Every structure is written in C-alpha cells, then in structure tokens.
C-alpha cells in the first residue's frame, strides 16, 4: 500500500535517542511509514545517535521533553517526581501536536505513557508498541505499567510472550493486541565462523550493561570455562543507562577480582556491532529478563552460534535454530556448561549456524515487519476518531 498515508502525518514517540533494540524497531517503523506514504515526525527527549538515522530513513525529528517511566518511579517519592515531569511533558507535547497536526500517534514502548494521555485528550488514534514483559515484577507494578494501554486504540506486542504477560493481568486488552515479530536487519555480509577453534575461544556480548541483562553471569561463566582448561576471552559491547554507572563499576571489579583483566575487553557503545560479532566465535545473551532478544537474532543472522538464557522471550526468538543453545537463566554454572557443549561440538554447530542464518533472514525479514505495521496503522486510522475498540 505505497500511498496509504497520502502524505498525512504520524507522530512517532520514542523515550530516547540511542540505538538499542526498541530504538532499531523505531527505525523500521519510520521506514514502514515512509514506504506507505505517511509523513513520520519522530519525537524524543534529547539528541543522540538515533536522530541522524531517523533523518536518513526519511523521517523528521522534533525534540520534546518527555518523562520516561522507570521502576524507581513506582514509589511515593518517584511518583511525586514523575507527576511534576509529566505536567511539563504534557504541555510541551500538546504544543508539538498543535504544530505537526498528526492523524495518528505511534508510541514506541509503554515507558512514555504521557503520549497516550495526550492522544486520548486530543481524540487522535494511538498505537503503542510493547517491547516489555515484566512477569517477574510484582503484580501492582505490572498493572500500573499496563493501565495506560487502555488509552490506545491498537497495541502491538513484539512477541507472543510479551502479549501473554500483558494479558495475564489486563485480559480486557486482548481484542486490541496483536503480535508483529521484530524485523531484524542482518549484517552487510554473512561471514562464516572459524572452521577450527584455535585458542582462545572468542566470546561476545552485545547490549545494555544492566543487572537484567545478566552480564555478570557471563563474566562468572568465563572464569569457570577457563578453570576447566578451555582458553576463552570476552568482549563486552555496550554501555549503561545514565544513573546505572554503578553496574559497570561492579562488573569491572568482578573482572579484576576473578583475575580476568587480560581476558575481558569493555568496548563501550559501538554503532558498528556487526564487525564485533563477526570477529567472535560465539555470541552470548545471558539475560535474566528479555521479552524478545534482538541481539540473539542478530547473532543467528551473522551465522554465529549463540548461547541464550531460558527466559521465554529468548527461547521464542531462537526456537528452531539448531546452533542456539539455552541454559537455565540466572545460573552461571549452566551457562559455562552450555559454552563448553558448544565448543565441543564446534564443527557441527558452525555448519548449522550457516543454515540458521538463511532461515532467520526469512523469519525476521524487515520487509514483513514494515508491511504488517503499515497495514495496522492504516487500519487504525481508517477506524475513525480515536475511540477504543
């Protein structure tokens, strides 16, 4: 539907300007809108590397202060802070709506509910893309995070797991919630892994540095693997959210205490992660919580064996790929065992990884994501004036 949008504007709201999983899906959403004739205007709280990427895909960028909901806000003190920030954000957001006059609002994640409030007040159809699945959080927190979704006309979940977690608490949202699997772009060129594993085995982690991502488990597993006589090293590619610098400091202390300083490299945030994955033998995704797992899919697309934790989102994302190994989540010993198993079966696993890369390119084709999202937005706008279904 190349002209479905007829040049009409869709306001696209994002909580930041980084290049992590949900941010990359925002870029695919921009491409979907542009390709279907819409004019996407992307708003985010401040500048960052995402801005130029949005412009490259044909979107327009408007910076607008937007309060982002964190778990720490679900406390009495946090709610007071959030209330003040929300009031300011609503005023600024309303001004932006007056300027761009969108026919729809696409909200990328549940962490910026102010845009759903504004959409309802202005009677503008709103879609929220759910990238979160907090099944381990207390029920009151899960419900509080999900309640603003009743203001959305349409909800898109990035996995069946995310949808199940949402509807377990808020079943009345079932009729307006659909699953659209992430569209994940593969590397510019698929380079096969090394035919033989000469020491050291090269492990890589790509993603945020946080407790929920389980990077500390990977450091522990690296120590265990080396203790077993398997020479291995690790590159950690990613950075922390502002305010969580303590976690990186803790990781560095863990590395030093385990005597791994010469075996672990902290690469920081990198715009080019493909070359880092291509230089590695095995990718690791040790998350304690993960609603989907773009980085696991990217590893498969790169023809790299991947070891993932057994959280449902990662199991769903890597199901059917023989080169993927799972381990009991939050268990460093099990992670070390999975790494040792992968290394021990290297010839077979490497060949399987090449086959899996081709299969993943079909299953997670960005074109499929763009087409389904464009159809969903067009149908939402065609339904009318923003009243929920």
Extract the tokens encoding 280. 């590695």
Helix extents (H) in 103-244:
114-121, 139-146, 160-169, 215-227
Q: Give pLDDT, residue 77.
A: 61
Q: Using a pLDDT cut of 70, give the percent of the chain over it.
A: 94
Q: Give the integer Cα–Cα distance in Å for 33 and 15.
A: 19
Q: What is the side-by-side strand order in the sheet with 154-157?
A: 60-63, 39-44, 9-13, 104-108, 126-130, 154-157, 177-179
Whole-angstrom Cα Rg for the chain: 21
Compute the CA torsion angle 312, 316, 318, 324 (nearest 10 deg).
Answer: 40
Domain annotation for the chain: domains and CATH numbers: 9-183+365-382 (3.40.50.2000), 201-363 (3.40.50.2000)
Burial of 368 (0-12, 13-18, 19+ CB in 10 A): middle
Residue 176 in this model has a pLDDT that exceeds 80: yes
Contact 204, 232 (CB under 8 A): no
**269 token code pair:** 């945030």
Q: What is the pLDDT of residue 79?
A: 53
pLDDT at 7: 87
Joined tokens for residue 75: 């406390």
Tokens for 300? 């498969």
Q: Is the pLDDT of residue 330 over 50?
A: yes
pLDDT of residue 384: 62
> What is the pTM for the complete model shown?
0.85
Name the token pair of 354. 């090449």
Helix H or strand E segment including 387: none
Residue 215: pLDDT band by 50, 70, 90 thresholds? very high
Pick the range with the lowest mean pLDDT from 8-12, 172-176, 237-241, 303-307. Answer: 237-241
Residue closest to 265 by CA, chosen among 240, 234, 238? 234
| pLDDT tens digits, one per residue of 256-286 | 999 999 999 999 999 899 999 999 999 999 9
């Amino acid at each position: 539907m190349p002209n479905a949008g007829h040049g009409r504007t869709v306001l696209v709201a994002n909580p930041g300007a980084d290049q992590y999983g949900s941010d990359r899906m925002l870029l695919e959403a921009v491409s979907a809108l542009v390709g279907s004739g819409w004019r996407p205007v992307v708003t985010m709280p401040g500048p960052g590397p995402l801005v130029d990427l949005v412009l490259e895909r044909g979107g327009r960028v408007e910076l607008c202060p937007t309060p982002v909901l964190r778990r720490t806000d679900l406390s009495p003190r946090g709610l007071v802070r959030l209330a003040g920030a929300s009031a300011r954000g609503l005023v600024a957001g309303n001004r932006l709506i007056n300027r761009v006059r969108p026919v729809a609002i696409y909200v990328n994640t549940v962490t910026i509910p102010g845009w759903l409030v504004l959409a309802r007040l202005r009677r503008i159809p709103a879609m929220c893309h759910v990238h979160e699945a907090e099944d381990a959080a207390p029920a009151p927190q899960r419900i509080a995070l999900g309640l603003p979704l009743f203001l959305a006309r349409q909800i898109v979940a990035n996995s069946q797991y995310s949808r199940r977690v949402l509807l377990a608490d808020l079943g009345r949202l079932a009729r307006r919630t659909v699953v659209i699997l992430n569209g994940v772009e593969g590397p510019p060129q698929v380079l096969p892994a090394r035919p033989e594993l000469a020491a050291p085995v090269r492990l890589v982690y790509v993603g945020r540095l946080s407790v929920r991502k389980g990077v500390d488990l990977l450091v522990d597993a690296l120590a265990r693997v080396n203790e077993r006589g398997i020479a291995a090293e690790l590159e950690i590619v990613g950075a922390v959210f502002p305010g969580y610098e303590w976690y990186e400091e803790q990781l560095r202390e863990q590395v030093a205490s385990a005597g791994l300083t010469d075996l672990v490299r902290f690469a920081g945030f990198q715009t080019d992660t493909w070359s880092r994955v291509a230089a590695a033998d095995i990718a690791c995704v040790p998350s304690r919580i993960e609603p989907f797992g773009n980085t696991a899919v990217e590893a498969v697309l790169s023809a790299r064996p991947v070891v993932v934790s057994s959280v449902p989102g990662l199991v769903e994302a890597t199901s059917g790929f023989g080169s993927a190994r799972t381990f009991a989540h939050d268990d460093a010993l099990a992670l070390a065992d999975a790494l040792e198993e992968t290394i021990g079966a290297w010839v077979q696993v490497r060949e399987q990884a090449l086959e899996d890369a081709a299969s993943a390119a079909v299953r997670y084709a960005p074109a499929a994501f763009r087409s389904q999202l464009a159809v969903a937005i067009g149908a939402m706008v065609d339904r009318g004036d923003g009243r929920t279904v």
